[in-house]
Amino acid sequence: MKAFREYDQTQQALQLTGELVAVRKEAEKTAADVPAKFKTGKETMTAQVNYMKADLAHRIAYVKLMALIGTP
């Protein structure tokens, strides 16, 4: 149950971080001046890094779950 719960939680985190990346990209498009563009660009990159971390955590949780189930 713990492995399945972890898999489910990482899946939700992956979805949320994906949505955050989309929101940050949209904010980057609407930024008016140069300092705002730099700030939103940095926030977008940070969101993308967090998305990659969430993706990796989700993949690891999947592998752990499949190892417990016995599926290769």
Distances 46 to 25, 52, 55, 65 between C-alpha atoms, Å? 11, 10, 14, 29
Label residue 71 by pLDDT band (50, 70, 90).
confident
Can you spell out the DSSP letters for 4-57?
HHHHHHHHHHHHHHHHHHHHHHHHHHH--SHHHHHHHHHHHHHHHHHHHHHHHH
Which pLDDT score, from 0 to 100, does residue 29 have? 92
pLDDT one-digit tens code per residue, 46-68 = 999 999 999 999 999 999 999 99
Mean per-residue pLDDT over the chain, rounded:
94
- pLDDT (0 to 100) of residue 72: 64
Instruction: Say yes or no to pLDDT of 37 above 90.
Output: yes
pLDDT at position 47 is 97
Helix axes 2-30, 34-69, angle to 10 degrees: 160
